[in-house]
Chain A
Amino acid sequence: KNQVEQSPQSLIILEGKNCTLQCNYTVSPFSNLRWYKQDTGRGPVSLTIMTFSENTKSNGRYTATLDADTKQSSLHITASQLSDSASYICVVTDSNSGYALNFGKGTSLLVTP
């Protein structure tokens, strides 16, 4: 069964610090992996998308990495800001018919002053 596991479940960091969120998956066959940011009470918004051949992709202070061999991804946030407080969701697409999305349960990040 396809699974996406995220860690940690929640994280509290001081403003200005860096942090790394983890995503491990068993989805096969793999098509792509996305990281979404979800502010409280709002719909998720895509941050990055990575395909099998990509190792690193950046979007401003967000950098995602992908190791397709070990089926692991990480999202690194540099110089965190209060507005980074949100839930971060890892979503892995499989390439079977319909391109089903497999969602992680998310990491809840709180950035404090």
Chain B
Amino acid sequence: EAQVTQNPRYLITVTGKKLTVTCSQNMNHEYMSWYRQDPGLGLRQIYYSMNVEVTDKGDVPEGYKVSRKEKRNFPLILESPSPNQTSLYFCASRAGGPGGTQYFGPGTRLTVL
């Protein structure tokens, strides 16, 4: 089954404790991205990657890092989480080009105390 998986689905942590949210897709997609979703603000892109070893900032990259060492994986790293990073996070992937459908993961609800 074609899918995007994220782990963990729920996470409660404390300020400053480094964490990683994993994302994996099994569709051989070139393009992957991370979004955060907050009430009233909609989905905002954090980082995206157009292929292995190619990453770029989205609209709200501050406080986040990513890496793309393999085509299927695109982890999101919070080196020193802060309470304003409490949010619902989505990973997504799609085939290259404008016409490809973007598939979203199930989401990770992060709370930073």
Chain A residues at the B interface, C-beta cutoff of 8 Å:
31-32, 34, 41-46, 49, 51, 89, 91, 93, 95, 98-99, 101, 103-106
A-B contact pairs, 30 of them (CB 8 A): A31-B98, A32-B99, A34-B101, A41-B88, A41-B107, A41-B109, A42-B106, A42-B107, A43-B4, A43-B90, A43-B92, A43-B105, A43-B107, A44-B43, A44-B90, A44-B104, A46-B101, A49-B99, A49-B101, A89-B43, A91-B102, A93-B98, A98-B48, A98-B50, A98-B56, A101-B45, A103-B42, A104-B42, A105-B42, A106-B42
Please, how many residues of chain B have a CB less than 8 angstroms from a CB on the other chain?
24
Known contacts A31-B98, A95-B98: A43-B42 contact under CB 8 Å: no
A106 contact set on B, CB distance < 8 A: 42
Q: A104-B42, A105-B42 are in contact. Are A99 and B105 (CB under 8 A)?
A: no
- On chain A, the residues within 8 Å of B104 by CB distance are 43-45
* Interchain CB contact (< 8 A) of B42 among A42, A49, A51, A89: A89
B40 touches A105 (CB 8 A): yes
The distance from the CB of A54 to the nearest CB of chain B, in whole angstroms, is 12
Which residues B7-45 have CB closer than 8 A to chain A? 40-45
**Residues from chain B with Cβ under 8 Å of A103 in the complex:** 42-44
Interface centre among A31, A41, A93, A101 (most CB of B within 10 A): A101
